Amino acid sequence: MIIVSGKAKLKSGGLQKVQQDMETVIAATRAEAGCIDYSYGADVTEPDTLVVLEYWESWDALHAHTTQPHMGAWMAKLGEVGVIGQSIRFIEAGEERNLMG
């Protein structure tokens, strides 16, 4: 499983401006082959900070995701609102366990 996790800091007011776009890209991505889960959120302690969390079946599925038209539109929208910085990692996970057993 491939995990994509991290944060992107947007210019002031940016997170609010992309709310509907986030909902659109989440719905489209969750319908992609190989997507286990895909979500965005807001960091409650860091204003205008987008939290990214994705789970993919494989590197191939993740790569195919990056070529989708909805991702091009999403990247363009992020460019409009302005990304100040980001720290997003791609992690290949092995063993998986549930927190509560």
Provide the pLDDT for residue 98. Answer: 82
For residue 94, what pLDDT is reported?
84
Model confidence at 22: pLDDT above 80: yes
Query: Is 2-92 assigned to CATH 3.30.800.10?
Result: no
Q: Are 55 and 37 in contact (CB under 8 A)?
A: yes
- Show the tokens assigned to 4: 């994509």
Spell out the domain ranges in the chain: 2-92
- The per-residue pLDDT for range 63-74, each reduced to its tens digit, is 999 999 999 999
pTM of the full predicted structure? Answer: 0.89
CA dist., res. 101 & res. 99, Å (int): 6
